[in-house]
Amino acid sequence: MTEFFSPVDSPDGAVSARVTAALRTTVRGRGLGRLGELGAWVAACQGSDAPSPFRRPHTLIVAGNHGVAARGVSAHSPESVAAQAEEISAGGGPANVAARAANCSVTLVSDWSARPCGSIDVEDAMTDEAFAAALARGRELGDSAVDSGADLIIPGEIGVGSTTVSAALYGVFTRTEPVLAVGRGSGINDEVWKVKTAAVRDAMFRVRRFRHDVAAVLTAISAPDFVGLVGLIAQSAVRRTPLLLDGPYVTMAAYVAERLAPGTREWLVAAQLSGEPSHQGCHKALGLNPILSLDIATGQAAGGLLALPVVNAAAEMVGEEVSRLSV
């Protein structure tokens, strides 16, 4: 396979082991439960036995325009993406509400929202050149965020038809039948679910002969914004910067990032659980245990932003306990 990314180093496992061992020596430390695990992960990412809350978290919300949305696979119309993007740019929407509560900055990436990509059930999502450009742009987004001082990145998305793309990719890479890969997404009824499942079935059929070629599959049945997310996630891991994952589309991109840049998974924590099969399946494949279970399907990195205060509280509690023990 072509090398798309530099090798990914692991977080400091020795730090994690020391923090975990220290917490086990006290009743309070043991009582932290999963907060202790989160704090140890933060410590390993920061390379410090006393983890601290993330001071400069940054959210990047990528807007997509999926040709398959015209098939009627969602409860939303394709035009709603532009409205969401305008709302976010004006400082509104679930993303900005949650970001203000979590003291996190937000950037909207609209590189791929102007025109729809190919409808994946009947045509390729993009050309080889567009795939390479989207991956490079994703790497650039990761580098820019890290170079600007971000110490935690929360990728997000807006796009009608995104869970259709996620389901198709999940079905191909895990050999899952369409009827088991397709969820209710934006809250669709039975008739729309049938349309969505047919689109996923046809997309999966189109790539059946080259399903082991990750780049070829992405070119055929993903989307430029999806490839951009893959690049962003993988490059952030290359740069030793942890990520807090939101919904199915982002988590599917993280699954692919792990395929292209092995070791990426160690820099990830899952923010939330939804009912989408691809979301649950990718969590399992990546070895991630979501922090929240609120059935959020709004996109915009809202679930990730809502989980950020929990991660920061875990880091602060663990940091305080480890410091107390070392006195």
Domain definitions of the chain by residue range: 13-51+317-325, 57-309
Within the chain, residue ranges assigned H as helices are: 13-23, 27-31, 34-46, 80-89, 93-102, 128-147, 162-174, 178-181, 190-206, 214-221, 224-238, 248-260, 277-286, 302-326
Pairing of strands 57-63, 152-158: parallel
Backbone φ/ψ region at 225: left (φ over 0), alpha (ψ -120 to 50), beta: alpha
pLDDT in tens, the chain (327 residues): 468 899 999 999 999 999 999 999 999 999 999 999 999 999 999 999 999 999 999 999 999 999 999 888 887 878 888 889 899 999 999 999 999 999 999 999 999 989 899 999 999 999 999 999 999 999 999 999 999 999 999 999 998 899 999 999 999 999 999 999 998 877 778 888 899 999 999 999 999 999 999 999 999 999 999 999 999 999 999 999 999 999 999 999 999 999 999 999 999 999 998 889 999 999 999 999 999 988 888 888 999 999 999 999 999 999 999 988 875
- CATH no., domain 57-309: 3.40.50.10210
| Cα gap 90→26, rounded to integer Å | 48
List all residues 6 or more positions away from 173 whose beta carbon is below 8 Å from its beta carbon: 211, 214, 217, 255, 256, 259
| Cα gap 120→219, rounded to integer Å | 10
Backbone angles phi, psi at 220, to 5 degrees: -80, -45
What global pTM score does this model have? Answer: 0.94
What's residue 324's pLDDT?
86
Backbone angles phi, psi at 77, to 5 degrees: -85, 155
